[in-house]
Amino acid sequence: MTVTRTAFRMILGVAIVATISACATKPKLPPGVHPSVEVGPPLKSNAWKAVATAQDQDRIARLGLAWAEALDDANKTNAAEVRKEGKLLLPRSGLPRPSPTPGSYNCRMIALGKASLQGKAFESFKPFFCYVEIEDEQLTIVKQTGSQRPAGRLWDDDDPTRLIFLGSLALGDETAPLAYGDDPKRNMAGVLERIAPFRWRLVIPWPQSSSKLDIFELTPVDFTQQPQ
């Protein structure tokens, strides 16, 4: 039997359509088996992002840029002081298990980078005492002395080498700091990292001051040195 060219094309077209239809058919599942979509655990960052303002989320997101610009400014005028501080001023130095042990700490602050013409590129401040405690099953940090006293809560993050700090600044003779968010001009946001055994740092990018990066070093206080 002779198949005309037109008939051959029709047969070929039907075969192609049948093949495509067969491929598009959903496979049948065995009885009792139902399709499911696996959903991973919720992100740890969801909790702190639900509390942090959009401005503070942006500050934390631009932490790398703050490190780069602040160190560039400081190295132009105070390279020797920057080198002397070693790992404290090196970005990406965080170690696993960043949670500090509750108790008193020796703290000191270094401000890096010029956020204004009047600012200094490097400034180291006198040491002070701060305290880590547990409040409502959450770690908090409070500066105990001085005219400006940061205080805030620490939140888990998806990055296992850091905790997120959200707090505010107590001024003068105020007996207690404001809650985070009560006064946006006093809000503080940053990250807490462990950089060595018994050594932590609290890093505040783009603080509401004349610097680009504030770094607080925390080391445990000997019992005999604790403030009364």
Per-residue pLDDT reduced to its tens digit, 128-155 = 999 999 998 899 999 887 767 889 999 9
Share of the chain above pLDDT 90, in %: 63
- Over residues 192-197, the mean pLDDT reads 97
pLDDT at 174: 76
Domain residue ranges in the chain = 46-223
Pairing of strands 213-220, 199-205: antiparallel
Per-residue pLDDT reduced to its tens digit, 195-222 = 999 999 999 999 988 899 999 999 999 7
| Global pTM value | 0.79
Beta bridge partners of residue 134, listed in sequence order: 139
Residue 177 has pLDDT above 80, yes or no: no
- Over residues 4-14, the mean pLDDT reads 48
Q: Which of 9-23, 56-70, 90-104, 165-179 has the lowest mean pLDDT?
A: 9-23
Q: How many residues in total does the chain contain?
A: 228
Residue 3 has pLDDT above 80, yes or no: no
Pairing of strands 128-135, 199-205: unpaired
Query: What CA–CA distance (Å, rounded) separates 39 from 56?
Result: 29
Task: Annotate the chain with DSSP letters as a single string.
Answer: -PPPHHHHHHHHHHHHHHHHHHHHSPPPPPTT-------PPPPTHHHHHTTS-HHHHHHHHTHHHHHHHHHHHHHHHHHHHHHHHGGGG-SS--BS--PPPSEEEEEEEEEES-SSTTS-SEEE---EEEEEEEETTEEEEEE-SSSEEEEEEEEE-SSTT-EEEEEEEEETT-SSPPPTTSSGGG-EEEEEEEEETTEEEEEEES-SSS-SEEEEEEEEPPGGG---
